[in-house]
Amino acid sequence: MLIYKIMPQPNLEVFKRSGRFTGLGIDLTDGYIHFSTAEQVKETASKHFYSQENLALVWTEANSLGEKLKWELSRGNNQFPHLYRHWCYDEVLGSSKLPWKNLKHEFPEFLQ
């Protein structure tokens, strides 16, 4: 199963160069990296990134993250993937820009 992380494009560039992502804002506060499933990511974008531009959508295979990926109850009493370690760039399967258009983020076709 693919899981998704939304982040500012400059942070993705740092992630690519350094090979390691330790989180942003709420990730650092909570002590884990927040991910969303395909079913959850649009609501995540709307709730936490509304109107923000210059964002990237980054994805990975949940099974590749090992035992430090925990599925925990969160928003709407749904299970969300939380990574309790840094994320290595070689675990990234893909990324795309997440443009803000017509009062919403425009997701890649495969998430429509």
Can you give the CATH number for the domain in which 53 is found? 3.20.170.20
pLDDT digits 0-9 by tens, 62-71:
999 999 999 9
Residue 109 lies in a domain: no
**7-46 as b/e: b if 16+ CB within 10 A:** bbeebbeebeeeeebebeeebeeeebbbbbbeebbbebbe
pLDDT in the model for residue 75: 85
Q: Which residues of the chain have pLDDT under 70?
A: none
Q: What pLDDT sits at residue 33?
A: 98
Distance CA 37, CA 44 (A): 10
Q: Are 22 and 28 in contact (CB under 8 A)?
A: yes
Q: What is the pLDDT of residue 12?
A: 98
Which range of residues forms the domain containing residue 67?
2-101
User: pLDDT tens across 87-106, in order?
Assistant: 999 999 999 999 999 999 99
Establish if 48 belongs to a structural domain. yes
Return the residue matching tokens 């939380």.
Answer: 82
